[in-house]
Amino acid sequence: MSEQTTFVPAQTRSAVWMRLLLWAVLIVFAIWFLLPAYVVVGTSLKELEEIRGGSLLSLPHELNFWAWKHAWSEACIGVTCTGLEPYFWNSVKMAIPAVTLSTLLGALTGYALTKWQFKGANMVFALILFGCFVPFQVVILPMAQTLGIIGITNTVYGLILVHSVYGLAFTTLFFRNYYVTIPDELVRAATIDGAGFFTIFRRIILPLSPPIIVVSVIWQFTQIWNDFLFGASFTTGGAQPIMVAMNNLVNTTTGVKQYNVDMAAALITAAPTIFVYIVAGRYFVRGLTAGSVKG
């Protein structure tokens, strides 16, 4: 530190005040936004007695994981009392294949649309793009019929198909916009080297794609895991994904409302998406901007 720091000019002093004010505002907003999260986590760790007796904001007396255990393996959803566990695995079995499938197909269509320009490629892309703006509700009826014809109504496979098809519009958009930044000459060089459509995709295009794969995976995983409408429309009972099951759990009230179990159930349901964000989130923003900035 030099001696000069003792002298603070007026301009700098007002800058310091501005900075303090900024911090204060940020802290207030942080608390504001974190409060609900705190209440949910706090409540899930309390006993029912404590919730009824104490304040919403008070800290739990002790860490009590009973509500979590109950929500996971004992709580009644409708008439079956299995907890969320089987539904959680339903969701996993649905989300992983659906995310993989839609991402892979999106990469393939994006690659074909940009690097193998065929007649009407732009028209096809415009139509696919249009798919991004089709609301969920519109596709429910035709989708239900389709699932009926194929014979996979009320199964995980049905949901995998629905989510893959619906997600394809978005993943294609992601990958197409990313692949237009990859020079065409790479594909030309590989063609002369003797590689075909799929070899070029596998050996050259896919290895360049991790940033956009991360974007696609996060986007699709959040969409699919958090989906309620398709799950509620196309499945019943034991085949339901966790999002629907949690809703039913909260709505199944026999006697006293167990807030701590509801909160724990909500947290269990949200955990995988939070996990994916924490693991891959920093690549997410990078991937989103990768197309716009060179290098």
Partner 1 sequence: MASLTIKNAVKRYGSVEVLKGVDIDLQDGEFLVLLGASGCGKSTLLNMIAGLETVTEGEIMIGDRLINDVHPKDRDIAMVFQSYALYPNMTVGRNISFGLEMRGVPKVEREAAVLEVAKMLQMDHLLDRKPAQLSGGQRQRVAMGRALVRRPEVFLFDEPLSNLDAKLRLEMRTEIKRLHKRLNATMVYVTHDQIEALTLADRIAILKDGEVQQLASPAEIYDQPVNMFVAGLVGSPPMNFISSTVTRTDTGYGAEISVRANDGDQPVLLDLSDHPTDLSTHVGRKIVVGLRPEAITQSGHSTGSTTQSFACDIDVTEATGADTLCVLNWNGKEVMARVSSGYAQIIEGTMDFAVDMSRASLFDPETEMRLG
Of the candidates 76, 105, 195, 229, which one interacts with partner 1 according to CB under 8 A?
Answer: 195
Is residue 191 at the binding interface for partner 1, with CB under 8 A as the rule?
yes
Is residue 204 at the binding interface for partner 1, with CB under 8 A as the rule?
yes
Q: Binders of partner 1: how many residues, by CB under 8 A?
A: 16
Q: Is 76 helix (H, G, I), strand (E, B) or coil?
A: coil
User: Which pair of tokens denotes residue 168?
Assistant: 């394809």
Give the binding range for partner 1 (CB under 8 A) out of 8-16, 89-97, 181-189, 253-261: 181-189
Is residue 207 at the binding interface for partner 1, with CB under 8 A as the rule?
yes
Of the candidates 208, 274, 279, 285, which one interacts with partner 1 according to CB under 8 A?
Answer: 208
Residue closer to partner 1 (CB basis): 42 or 211:
211
Q: What is each CA distance from 205 to 99, 173, 180, 212, 289, in whole angstroms?
A: 19, 16, 11, 11, 18
Residue closer to partner 1 (CB basis): 30 or 208:
208
Is residue 183 at the binding interface for partner 1, with CB under 8 A as the rule?
yes
Alpha helices in 74-205 (DSSP H): 85-115, 121-131, 136-150, 156-179, 184-193, 197-200
CA 18 vs. chain centroid, Å, equals: 37
Is residue 160 at the binding interface for partner 1, with CB under 8 A as the rule?
no
User: Which pair of tokens denotes residue 63?
Assistant: 């860490």
Q: Is 180 helix (H, G, I), strand (E, B) or coil?
A: coil
Give the binding range for partner 1 (CB under 8 A) out of 34-42, 60-68, 115-123, 189-197: 189-197
Of the candidates 119, 194, 255, 256, which one interacts with partner 1 according to CB under 8 A?
Answer: 194
Angle at alpha carbon of residue 77, lines to 75 and 81, rounded to 5°: 50
Is residue 193 at the binding interface for partner 1, with CB under 8 A as the rule?
yes
CB-based contact 171:107 (threshold 8 Å): yes
Of the candidates 1, 10, 192, 256, which one interacts with partner 1 according to CB under 8 A?
Answer: 192
Give the shortest CB-137-to-partner 1 separation in angstroms.
Answer: 42
Tell me the Ramachandran region of residue 292: left when phi exceeds 0, alpha when psi lies from -120 to 50, beta otherwise: alpha
Is residue 186 at the binding interface for partner 1, with CB under 8 A as the rule?
yes
CB-based contact 168:130 (threshold 8 Å): no
Give the binding range for partner 1 (CB under 8 A) out of 3-11, 30-38, 113-121, 198-206: 198-206
171 residue type, one letter: T
Of 15, 245, 224, residue with least CA distance to 136? 224
Is residue 199 at the binding interface for partner 1, with CB under 8 A as the rule?
yes
Contact residues toward partner 1 (CB under 8 A) are: 183, 185-186, 188-195, 199, 203-204, 207-208
